A and B are shown apart, each in its own frame.
Chain A
Amino acid sequence: MPAHARRLLLLAQLVLLALWLPLLWASDIEIESASEHVTHEMLMVDADSRIEFSEDAIKAMNSGVPITIEFDLRIARPRKLLWDAEVLSAHRDFTIERHALSDQFVLSDRATGERRIHGELGLAIQDLARIRDLPIAEASQLAGEDVEISLRLRLAIRSLPGPLIPIAFISPGWHMSSGWYRWRTQL
């Protein structure tokens, strides 16, 4: 490849990077604490988070657009010389949606279909931020393991209505992710 072509390519990459950089750093979700416990032979996770939706997202939810937050959880067995061995990976989607007729906000677990109704959006968000007894796996599967648990919350842009996806994709206000919250424990 000629030198000028390489320079052009590098310039294009820099421009792209400059465009996407703010998106990579955009984060309005923070997992403040998380822990696991075993109840009724089930490994469950509790997590307390701070979720601050952007004005665009708030406006969208108030306008009836369902917003989905993804819970990604990984359990890995640390190894000394090699990378960690993944033991378990779980994924849960929670959706907040306005119900116009009742003028309430419905927080639903997409996996179980469980719904919790809130009179205000803020209450629904608070409910979402406070996760309790989220079942992950049967405790017997992981008994005695020294593991590292990683948890991440992020807004699922792909779950937005089609016309909103391009906007969300290039807008920092829609790129919400907590980053991985990790802790080690003996199961």
Chain B
Amino acid sequence: MLGTVGLLTLSLLGSLVLMSAAMQNSDRFGALYSVLLLSNTAGLMAFVWLIGVNVRRLLRQIRAREPGARLTLRMLVIFVALAVLPVTVLYTFSLDFLRRGIDSWFDVRVGDALQSSLELSREALDLRMRELLSQTESMAEEITQGAPPERTTLNLDALRDPGSIVTASAWTPGPSVLDAMRARSGADELTLLSADGEPLATSSRISDLIPHLPAESLLVQLRQGRSYIGLDPLRDGTLFVRVAVSVNVAPGAGAKRVLHALYPIAPRINRLAGTVENAYAKYHELDYLREKLKLSFAMTLTMVLLFSIVTAVWAAFYSARRLAAPIRDLAIGTAAVAAGDYATSLPVQSNDEMGFLVSSFNDMTRRIGRARAETETQREYLDTVLRQLSSGVVALDEAAHITTLNESARRMLELDDDAAPGLGFIETCRRDDHLHPLADTLEPLLAEQRSEWQEQITIFASNGRRVLMCRGTSLARHDSAARGYVIVFENITAIIQGQRDAAWSEVARRLAHEIKNPLTPIQLAAERLRQKYLKKLGPEEGEALERLTSTIVQQVETMKAIVNTFSDYAKSPVITRAAVDINALIAGVVDLFRGGYPEARIETRLAEGLPPLSGDPTRLRQVLNNLVKNAFEASPEPANAHIIVSTSITQYAQADHVEIRIEDRGEGLPEPLLSNIFEPYVTSKAKGTGLGLAIVKKIVEEHNGVVTLRNNPEVGAVAIIRLPLDKEPAQNEEALLKDAV
């Protein structure tokens, strides 16, 4: 492109030079002028088209907000102004000087002087011309007097013979006469013509074969009776005095004739007159061409101006683009860096300050890239550490938006995939019902902006109650007063449960140990007392003894049973998991009770297609037995009790659960007991040990389930067990069923 434009510029320049030369020397370049004008116009139009294309492209880039476009426009305007303004000023002044210069050539005094010179020349010649006219008329008269009356014809062939004298017919003056006349008069050529211009006889000192014949217009003038005299510039520009007069002939001798004479002018006068003529003619020609000359110069100058302007504008385009290119590259590179592309490297095209700037930019992007890579490595390292941590870690910014959330926290809090960095942590927690307690606890803590805090929070997750130990630490930033937080979650459910179970087990074990040991001696002592004294006593006393010892033995047995229950509770849980069909398990338990209470109404609403769950069937049967038994015992008349046992699949904490509901139509539980009904030694029954529901809860929790007990709104109470459906067993359903079989 640059080569093409350079070639075009050189061509235009050459064309303008030729055009200028054509102005000065039309003989050499005049023929080319039109071609040059056309080629220059075409070249200028090509430049205008190029500029138009560039302007359009620049406007499109500005509209598209491309980097560097506005800078290019600004530089273009500056360059164009810098180039065009001086050229325009120069053009204006040059044009003015040109006009004034051309006008100065044409001084009125010079014109008058030339006109006077011309008039003077004419006057100088006029006297001589009048003498010559008179002389020629005398010769014509002389011929008239010497002419015979008859008409003769001229032998034209004789005119073509070489020689200076053509001899006519007998009437005409003979050669000697015409020669004598020419010699006497000093004429260079003397020709006798017929009235219609045909030469009859001639005598010439000039070496032409054919005499210089007068023009038709001259003959017309002669026919009108007027003689002709004038200055004639002949072939080589030499001036002659041409005289033509009518030659009268005698009446009846035919038409008039014409005597045509060419008289020389003295060489000096001829030369001076020629000089005056040339100067006058040239001056008047120039005077006539003055405006044309101005216009032509103006046109050429305008062409040069237009050429300069379009070249300057195009050069401005080229320069602006070239200068703006590194800046545009820098803008693009900066945008790329801002967008996270640190691999951007710009070409260094010059060794100047701009090149240094580009080099610095490249160096900067390399450093940023390296730093970013290091940061990324550190982040990945941190992510890996966080991922491997069993503790949940959530980092929040000053607006409590999540910045980091490790997998343990996601798993522990059972957050869905939508919970991602950038979201408000409190809002995210509030989206899940089971995390409301967490949100309620954390919100004021975060608002207080305490540097450190620690809270124990209980949530009900998919696998039941979960106790979390939350520790929050503020993250103070050195460059800002704003604080973020990092919250570490520890799942201490198992620890607390273990501690509690261990405590209760210890209590139960001690109770069993301390109580069970004296029971056997008491029982033995009572039985021995009865054996020893029953025979010795009378019937009445014996009956009393029998009753009393029986009561002791019976109560001891009862206490043994209680102690055994304590022992059972105190035992470490050993769960033997298998695929359990809950519906089948319930059906077995219900059938057992139906046998015991044939009048009772035991209604089962078992969900179809219930998947098996992983659990210990023996211990789960114990749970069901306990709860159904409680339901019967809660009924006013256990024999006629109305029990509803139902199963269903429910969603809880984003996981599938089997929900088992056992409802009775009893009086319900006293409200004060509801909050701790599952604690050991808490019972509503007069004869209860208070361990039944505690064992139920223990077994359910061993299965990662949740058991609740609440009063029905209308009548009775309902025990609800939610047992999680493990995905793995469900996916391997057939294998588990086989194991169960």
Contact = CB atoms under 8 A, between A and B. Distances in A.
Interface of A: 4-5, 8-9, 12, 16, 59-60, 63-65, 98-102, 104, 106, 113-120, 123, 127, 157-167, 169
13 contacts: A8-B49, A12-B49, A59-B288, A100-B281, A101-B273, A101-B280, A117-B215, A117-B230, A117-B242, A119-B218, A158-B30, A162-B30, A164-B289
Given A164-B289, A165-B26, A104 B232 contact: yes
A117 to B, nearest CB: 5
Contact of A166 (B218, B273, B296): B296
B289 A106 contact: no
Nearest to B277: A101
Nearest to B19: A166
A117 B231 CA distance: 10
Contacts of A161: 26, 285, 289
Contacts of A114: 235
B23 A65 contact: no
Contact of A63 (B235, B276, B284): B284
Contact of B296 (A60, A116, A163): A163
- Chain A CB within 10 Å — which of B31, B234, B289, B297 has the most? B289
Contacts, number: 123
Contacts of A5: 49, 53
Contacts of A163: 23, 289, 292-293, 295-297
B281 A64 contact: yes
A106 B579 CA distance: 135
A8 B52 CA distance: 10
A118 B217 contact: yes
B117 to A, nearest CB: 10
Nearest to B234: A115
Contacts of A101: 118, 121-122, 231, 239, 273, 276-277, 280
B230 A102 contact: yes
Nearest to B284: A64
Interface of B: 22-26, 30-31, 33-34, 37, 41, 45, 49, 52-53, 56, 118, 121-122, 215-218, 221, 230-235, 239, 242, 273, 276-277, 280-282, 284-285, 287-289, 292-293, 295-297, 299-300
Main SS at interface, chain A: mixed
A99 B233 contact: yes
Given A16-B41, A100-B280, 10 more contacts: A5-B49, A65-B288, A98-B281, A100-B284, A102-B232, A114-B235, A117-B242, A157-B34, A165-B34, A166-B37
Main SS at interface, chain B: helix
A9 B276 CA distance: 54
A80 to B, nearest CB: 36
Contacts of B280: 100-101
Contacts of A98: 281
Given A5-B53, A65-B289, A102-B232, A165 B273 contact: no
A22 B117 CA distance: 43
A12 B45 CA distance: 8
Contacts of A157: 34
A8 B24 CA distance: 35
A64 B280 CA distance: 9
A169 B33 contact: yes
Given A118-B215, A163-B292, A165-B296, A63 B233 contact: no
